Amino acid sequence: MKIALAQLNYHIGNFEDNVSKIKTSISKARSEGADLVVFAELAVSGYPPRDFLEFDDFIRRCRLAVEEIAGVCTDIAAVVGVPTKNPEFMGKDLYNSACFLADGKVREMRHKSLLPNYDIFDEYRYFEPNKKFDIVEYKGEKIALTVCEDLWNLGNDPLYTVIPMDELMKQQPDMIINIAASPFNYNQHRIRTDILKKNARKYGLPLFYVNHVGAQTELLFDGGSQVIDAQGKVVEELAYFREDFAVYDTKELKSNNRPAPLSAYPQGNEKIGLMYDALVMGVKNYFAKLGFTKAILGLSGGIDSAVTLAIAAEALGNRNVLSVLLPSQFSSEHSVSDSLEMIKNLNSPYEIISIETAFKAFEETLKPQFKDLPFGLAEENIQARARGVILMALSNKFGYILLNTSNKSEAAVGYGTLYGDMNGGISVIGDVYKTEVFQMARYINRNGSIIPENIITKPPSAELRPNQKDSDSLPDYEILDRILFQYIENRKGPEELIEMGFDEKIVRKTLRLVNTNEYKRYQTPPMLRVSPKAFGMGRRMPIVAKYLS
């Protein structure tokens, strides 16, 4: 049997576009002699549709879309992911289904058994788990048709009480097909491939795996769909971060020597390279799917806004990103000159708007209330908010989306001003630690200078008071980021961190800052997710809490 893998970039709720892409791929598969073409989990609706699933009209349109797709499957079959109605009175109203389309109709449906309900996943909120296991037979082949998590209940700490493939093996399938929506993080491609290999080896069956690609707000999908032989060897791997298509004959399960896409990254830079490509895709898709073309950001002369500008310019085109330099009386000369050098390198547009007049106007307005109190945090934040007002005014007037430039280290400890530098429609590097931002700047410059060297090497500063440095308020980023990583990603408590050799005073202060600034993160723009534990939908913490605060 010839099986086509169609790795596509879907748009949540855009049924017309999703159906068109699927039908085009079916036509391509037919022209290349495929018997069956496989699409991703919830391909028709896009993933994750979240509370759209609570609308009867949304589910009705999913059904109509599948029927339309089935109508073109007359001399070819297709597997398409879609939410379907649960006909039973008991249980949730929907299934997460893989529809097998053939002979112009929905011939079979297989439902997802294992519904993830951790980190960014919330599937048990909507779907009923499958409890009945049957293979699909087509053209003399017995197919174990599974959906994403159904293959993941392996290892020493299983989350579920059933292993779907153990049940399906009782019917002696010839192959496994798995349709998935597996979001990106910089470790996920290795973990995913390891899981798929283990399944192929355990059951002694070839495995055909199709993943989503593209960005859905903060969730990024990297693709990397695969064919794995019965010995657990990857014999086909589709591209990362872009749509791809391949046809594979089950009688010829041997390597075709396609180069692995990940080999494109320089040695030692795979993690940062993956993160960079994911962020570029995330920005590009966020704008395209919202129907916007132009971005704006405040370019401060610092490393964060410089890296954000470079990512946005790559995603949207140099001329489509407006940099606004917003100097104050505390801005250093090089904050402007370094920014102008980078703008020249990119040949991108810019404006220079001083905030001194606005700041003085706020000072004068508040003088009756502030009286003769000394300059402090309030005055620093007024400057940041004046910048935010100017950027949002330009955004509203000319139709830009404002890019937030805060990094993960700052977001973690609350080192930012609400309604000021924390403004934005999308947070580009909000899941990138400060030390990783420096690494990314070097990666961006790997083929020539884009970010000026002085931006990379000078001490970070918010420049909101004379001679200010980040180190005045925060531990050295090399130490801070290691503590934050252990606490946020690895969930290590204070005693464990102290036992690891971190200074007790720094540990307790850092964890207190993280927990007391949850209210700020609650109000930030969506952060493009590139780590295994990002702020946002995958990390749910109470605001009013006493723990470690």
Which residues are identified as catalytic? 41, 112, 148
Question: Which of 442, 409, 441, 420 lies closest to 306, judged by CA?
Answer: 441
For residues 228 and 253, is the Cβ–Cβ distance under 8 A?
no
The three-class DSSP label of residue 309 is helix
What distance in Å separates the CA atoms of residue 235 and residue 228, rounded to the nearest whole number? 6
What distance in Å separates the CA atoms of residue 201 and residue 232, rounded to the nearest whole number? 5
Contacts of 518 (CB under 8 A, 6+ apart): 541, 542, 543, 545
Order of strands across the sheet with 350-352? Answer: 350-352, 321-325, 295-298, 401-404, 426-427
Between strands 244-249 and 234-237, the pairing is unpaired
For residues 307 and 276, is the Cβ–Cβ distance under 8 A?
no
Question: Which of 463, 221, 448 lies closest to 329, judged by CA?
Answer: 463
What distance in Å separates the CA atoms of residue 144 and residue 87, rounded to the nearest whole number? 23
Contacts of 95 (CB under 8 A, 6+ apart): 83, 84, 85, 86, 109, 111, 112, 127, 128, 130
What distance in Å separates the CA atoms of residue 117 and residue 96, rounded to the nearest whole number? 14
For residues 220 and 191, is the Cβ–Cβ distance under 8 A?
no
Structure tokens at 490: 């690895």
| Chain position carrying tokens 């699409």 | 39
For residues 96 and 88, is the Cβ–Cβ distance under 8 A?
no
What distance in Å separates the CA atoms of residue 178 and residue 196, rounded to the nearest whole number? 9
- Tell me the residue length of the chain: 549
Contacts of 139 (CB under 8 A, 6+ apart): 1, 35
What distance in Å separates the CA atoms of residue 236 and residue 489, rounded to the nearest whole number? 32
Q: Is the bond preceding residue 48 a cis peptide, omega within 30 degrees?
A: yes
Report how far apart, in Å, the C-alpha atoms of 67 and of each of 40, 106, 137 are. 17, 7, 21
Question: Which of 483, 525, 531 lies closest to 508, judged by CA?
Answer: 483
CB atoms within 10 A of CB 163: 19
DSSP E strand boundaries for 268-320: 295-298
For residues 4 and 246, is the Cβ–Cβ distance under 8 A?
yes
Question: Which of 302, 277, 269, 298 lies closest to 443, judged by CA?
Answer: 269
